[in-house]
Amino acid sequence: MNKIIIDAFTWRRAVKVFDTTKKVSEEDLATILEAGRLAPSSIGTEAWKFIVVTDPETRGKLREVAYGQQQVTDASHLIVIARRTDVESIAPELIARTAKAQGKAEGELEGLSKMASGGIMGKPEGAVRDGWLAAQTYIPLGMMMAAASMIGVDNAGMEGFDNAKVDEILGLPEKHLASVTFLVLGYRGDDAYSQSPKVRRTIDEVVERV
Ligand SMILES: Cc1cc2nc3c(=O)[nH]c(=O)nc-3n(C[C@H](O)[C@H](O)[C@H](O)COP(=O)(O)O)c2cc1C
């Protein structure tokens, strides 16, 4: 096994108590955000936004609607990962950026266009489609967590918050966004949780070969 990767992922814990005096550098933050930007998504939808919340007052309000969890205010950085709600715009934008990146005319991408429109708009409106778009956002969440762990930045995903209230505080509905998870970044402080043994199922419980 690759020791660098496995050591980093073993070290990673869902830190509860951050050292409030330590800040993640702009360079490390950029690396982590870039890892999220490079995440793949079904059809290439990239139907997400990473909102870096820097205003302390806003972070205080977010903590209140996150069961008072101290990580929300005490971590060096708080990133809210949101899914897009303007579903009808996702496929046309995908075609436009694919054409631009690959130097093609949009007309040449008819197959992709049909697949994207069908794949997105063909999903039942409501919980099924929203759930599918929300599921996509866990891919950049995971990749950002992996990237942070590899460079020694503590990180934790969080979904213990009231989504509707978070959306209201950040004005997300007007931006056609809906919150899915938080990602907190920083450096562990005197955190008893991080020192407790890590709990995981064994490899034989997790992997089945058929
Ligand atoms: C998507 C997601 C949401 C989570 N939400 C919370 C949360 O709101 N509060 C919290 O203290 N931990 C939260 N956790 C942490 C998990 O409980 C933790 O990752 C899990 O128990 C494994 O522990 P470890 O990450 O320390 O190895 C979340 C983890 C993930 C991946």
Residue ranges covered by each domain of the chain: 17-88+125-206
Residue of 71, 14, 70, 17 lying closest to 199 (CA atoms): 14
Mutate to test the pocket of ligand 1, among 63, 158, 183, 191 (most ligand atoms within 8 A of CB): 158
pLDDT of residue 186: 98
Mutate to test the pocket of ligand 1, among 13, 73, 159, 200 (most ligand atoms within 8 A of CB): 159
CATH code of the region 17-88+125-206:
3.40.109.10
Q: Which residue CA neighbors atom 17 of ligand 1 most closely?
A: 14
Closest ligand 1 atom to 198 CA: 27
Q: How far apart are CA 193 and CA 14, in angstroms?
A: 8
Q: Which residue CA neighbors atom 5 of ligand 1 most closely?
A: 158
pLDDT of residue 113: 95
Q: Which two tokens stand for residue 202?
A: 């064994």
Closest ligand 1 atom to 16 CA: 11
pLDDT of residue 41: 98
Does the Cβ of 14 fall within 6 Å of ligand 1?
A: yes
> One-letter amino acid identity for 103?
G
Does the Cβ of 93 fall within 6 Å of ligand 1?
A: no
Sign of the four-CA dihedral 27, 93, 104, 120: positive
Q: Dump strand ranges (E) for the chain.
A: 48-53, 77-84, 154-158, 177-186
Give the C-alpha distances (Å, rounded to integers) separating 95 from 45, 48, 113, 151.
10, 16, 6, 34
Give the C-alpha distances (Å, rounded to integers) separating 77 from 32, 63, 98, 186.
11, 13, 32, 6
Q: How far apart are CA 56 and CA 68, in angstroms?
A: 14
Closest ligand 1 atom to 181 CA: 1
Sequence-distant (≥ 6) Cβ neighbours of residue 174 within 8 angstroms = none
Residues (pLDDT < 70) of the chain are none
User: 155: CA distance to ligand 1 center in Å?
Assistant: 10
pLDDT of residue 37: 98
Q: How long, in residues, is the chain?
A: 210
pLDDT of residue 210: 98
Q: How many CA atoms lie within 13 A of 128 on its CB side?
A: 7
pTM recorded for the entire structure: 0.97
Which residue has 């990133």 as its token pair? 79
Q: Which residue CA neighbors atom 4 of ligand 1 most closely?
A: 158
pLDDT of residue 161: 98
pLDDT of residue 111: 95
